[in-house]
Amino acid sequence: KWYVQLLFHNYQFPLFTLRPCFKTYCKSLANVGSKADTGLPPGWEVRHSQSKNLPYYFNESQKLSRWEPPQGTATETLKRFMAENHSFPEAQPGMNGSGKIRASHLLVKHRDSRRPSSWREAEITRTKEEAIRIIQDYESRIKNGEKLKDLAKSESDCSSARKEGDLGYFGRGDMQKEFEDAAFRLKPGEVSGVVETASGLHLIQRQEVE
């Protein structure tokens, strides 16, 4: 006769009596990352990119991956899930030689952006003019003493928001040209004006060399 011992309570039960409970437990594990937990549509889950040190969204059946949430995402539920499960450690230091720099940014997307969705909104419908007004307000707030990293954490449409906008180290050719040119022109600690790329509108801050 086979038994399973519950170590924490020192009880023994025949294995067959635990099978229904075991099935329920397995089912609950399978539901981790489901829509009820993440806000994502069925089939989608949150994964973590080791190379970018950022979360992304993956659909196993379709073999699709993307940086922004798919259509049909419950945005507020996803925000809660990300806050509870994907708070990131400090960015790993990279090469600070070979012409590489480190920068953070705050991104505001609009409906004409290359991918008009983000972790904050599954579908971004604001116009470019509205996005300009929004990012100019952030620019003004930074000039008045607020920190870009604090605004990026709550307001940026980039997944790097979870790292306070930190993109880590990058070199020439790693970013979109407009972004790259603006970042390399900055002095350490300096914040750019509004920079436009295919992704949207950015404020960029070059980090001090560690």
**Residue numbers annotated as active site:** 105, 158, 176, 199, 202
> What's the rounded Cα separation, in Å, for the pair 121 and 28?
28
> What's the rounded Cα separation, in Å, for the pair 44 and 46?
7
Termini Cα distance of the chain: 63
Phi and psi, residue 78, nearest 5°? -65, -40
Q: Are the C-beta atoms of residues 207 and 187 closer than 8 Å to each other?
A: no
Q: Are the C-beta atoms of residues 186 and 207 closer than 8 Å to each other?
A: no
Residue type, position 191, single letter: V
Strand extents, DSSP E, 7-119: 11-14, 44-49, 54-59, 64-66, 101-108
33: left (phi over 0), alpha (psi -120 to 50) or beta: left
